[in-house]
Amino acid sequence: MSLRMTKALHAALSALTLIWSTACTSAGVAPQATGPAPTYVRTVAQKMRVPWGVGFLPNGAALVTERTTGRIYRVKDSSPRRYVGTIRQTAPRGEGGLLGLAISPTYDVDRLIYVYVSTTRDNRVLAMTYRAGRLGPRRVVISGIPGAPTHDGGRIAFGPDGFLYVTTGDARQDPNPSQNLNSLGGKILRITKTGQPAPGNPFDNSPIWSFGHRNVQGLAWDDNGQLWASEFGNDEMDEVNRIEPGGNYGWPICEGTKVFGTTTDCASEHPDFVAPTLTFPCDDASPSGLAYLDGALWMGTLKGRAVVKMTVSPDSTSATTAGEYFAGRWGRLRTVAVTPEGQLWVTTSNRDGRGEPVRTDDRVLLVRP
């Protein structure tokens, strides 16, 4: 097939995807974009190996993890990336490896950074100093998170309250751990910088903030301090959730708005579960990274190969899909992060074993919202 025919076919498929999404408006997919479209500015870094976690330092540079190599790089716009170090405990397999990265909110004082890593035993969060371009000794913050070739969660971020939030997957364990409050799998955790349950958590002496999750890979807070999360569904519905402390988000009993494997409405059968704010057909999304900027959530999608914009209501009680951008332009899109200048970095994930990488993949892209 010629390149011209391939492009034409891809455009047709993208159009069909949009039509299918339009049919799911009640589930949260808007029929067309509203407001100005974001624009691509330039490529910040290229030829990386599945860039996953992004954390911006006070000086405007970022630290970026590579999932498959366990390496961390210092990346700064308009400058060559610089190797910082390798997390030797990394045991990449499937979706696991060196995943999320977060910068301490008091970095100017403690010089601490945090990473989420898959090891041969489990998934865990490590802390270390980053000073003068070098990584210090690693310290385990929390361990015992279920790990597997799939459903490893892995996003970490400090909230406006100063505590560290950690997303975990169900690791496809049997029995499924998501409803089990004695397991760290299928949860969003909220911990102190030393790994203790944060004060005010909904369950006594527990790091669990919310449960009933399948595989959350995106976290973002809006202007009101409300936490939002993006989550992979099984076969039918991916989700964007408004996170409530102690909330049960239903997995594996429910997927999206339905009882799992049925057409039965989840809310009528399980009114105690927190219903998703938005859902997307799995084949059109597979959401990973999530960011908040200028009144909207911005989400990277792997199967959807697009950046999705969702407008958040002023009172943070709802969100509506406002547009899908760059569909098919760069392939699988993993992480979306807000820069100190109020723009977006978007990372590709074409070397994760499920994409079709080009010579310059994987890339970190600068986008003006």
Instruction: For the chain, 369 residues long, give each residue's pLDDT as a single digit of tens.
Output: 433 343 343 443 343 333 333 333 334 444 467 778 999 999 999 999 999 999 999 999 999 999 999 999 999 998 899 999 999 999 999 999 999 999 999 999 999 999 999 999 999 999 999 999 999 999 999 999 999 999 999 999 999 999 999 999 999 999 999 999 999 999 999 999 999 999 999 999 999 999 999 999 999 999 999 999 999 999 999 999 999 999 999 999 999 999 999 999 999 999 999 999 999 999 999 999 999 999 999 999 999 999 999 999 999 999 999 999 999 999 999 999 999 999 999 999 999 999 999 999 999 999 999
Spatial distance between the Cα atoms of 67 and 279, rounded to a whole number of angstroms: 27
Reported pTM: 0.92
pLDDT on residue 78: 82
In a domain, 180, yes or no: yes
DSSP-derived secondary structure for 138-205: -EEEEEEE---SS-----EEE-TTSPEEEE-B-TT-SS--TT-TT--TTEEEEE-TTSPBPTT-SSTT
Tell me, what's the pLDDT at 31? Answer: 43
DSSP assignment of 199-247: TT-SSTT--EEEE--SBEEEEEE-TT--EEEEE--SSSEEEEEE--TT-
CA dihedral 348, 134, 142, 214 (to 10 degrees): 0
Number of domains, the chain: 1
Position 349 in a domain: yes
In the numeric block, which tokens belong to residue 254? 């429910």
Contact status, residue 332 vs residue 346, Cβ threshold 8 Å: no
In a domain, 13, yes or no: no
Q: Any idea which residue has 């959530």 for tokens?
A: 297
- 236 lies in a domain? yes
Q: Is residue 4 part of a domain?
A: no
- Please give the pLDDT value at position 25: 34
The reply to whether omega before 77 is within 30° of 0 (cis) is no
Would 5 be classed as within a structural domain?
A: no
Distance of CA 229 to CAs 13, 104, 118, 187, 303, Å? 28, 20, 21, 11, 18
- pLDDT at residue 32, as a whole number: 62
**Residue 186: domain span:** 26-368
C-alpha to C-alpha distance for 236 and 251, rounded to whole angstroms: 13
Residues 6+ apart with CB under 8 A from 359: 47
Reading the block at residue 341, the tokens are 């200048």
Q: What is the rounded (10 degree) CA torsion for 13, 14, 19, 20? A: 70
Contact between 65 and 45 under an 8 Å Cβ cutoff? The reply is no
Is residue 344 included in any domain, yes or no?
yes
What CATH code is carried by the domain that includes residue 74? 2.120.10.30
CB-based burial, 235-269: b 16+ in 10 Å, e otherwise: ebbbbbbbbeeebbbbbbbbbbbbbbeeeeebeee
pLDDT score for 159: 98
Q: Is residue 340 part of a domain?
A: yes
